[in-house]
Structure 1
Amino acid sequence: MSIIHLSAVGGQEPSAADLAGIESEWPLIAAELDLLDAQIACVNAGPYASVLDRRRVRRAERRVLVVRRELADCEAVEDGAA
Structure 2
Amino acid sequence: MDHIVTVQDAVTAFADFMEPTAAELDAIDAEMPVIRAEMELLDAQIVVIDRVPTELDERRIRRARRRVLAAHRDYVNGLPVQKGGAA
TM-score between both structures, scaled by the size of structure 1: 0.76
Question: Secondary structure, in 3 states, of the residue corresponding to 2:49?
Answer: helix
Per the alignment, residue 3 of structure 1 pairs with none
1:79 equivalent in alignment to 2:43: no
Taking the aligned partners of 2:78 and 2:19, their CA distance within structure 1 comes to 27
Aligned residues with identical type, % of pairs? 43
Q: Give the Å deviation of 1:43.
A: 1.4
Taking the aligned partners of 2:48 and 2:64, their CA distance within structure 1 comes to 12
1:25 equivalent in alignment to 2:52: no
- Determine which of 44, 50, 58 is the counterpart of 1:54: 58
- Which stretches in structure 1 are left out of the alignment for 5+ residues? 1-6
Per the alignment, residue 43 of structure 1 pairs with 49
Per the alignment, residue 63 of structure 1 pairs with 67
- Determine which of 13, 25, 36 is the counterpart of 2:19: 13
Q: Give the Å deviation of 1:13.
A: 0.9
Larger Rg: 2
Q: Give the Å deviation of 1:72.
A: 1.0
TM-score between both structures, scaled by the size of structure 2: 0.72
User: Structure 1 residue runs of 4+, over 6 Å off?
Assistant: none
- Which stretches in structure 2 are left out of the alignment for 5+ residues? 1-10, 83-87
RMSD: 1.8
Report the count of equivalent residues: 69
Taking the aligned partners of 1:24 and 1:72, their CA distance within structure 2 comes to 10
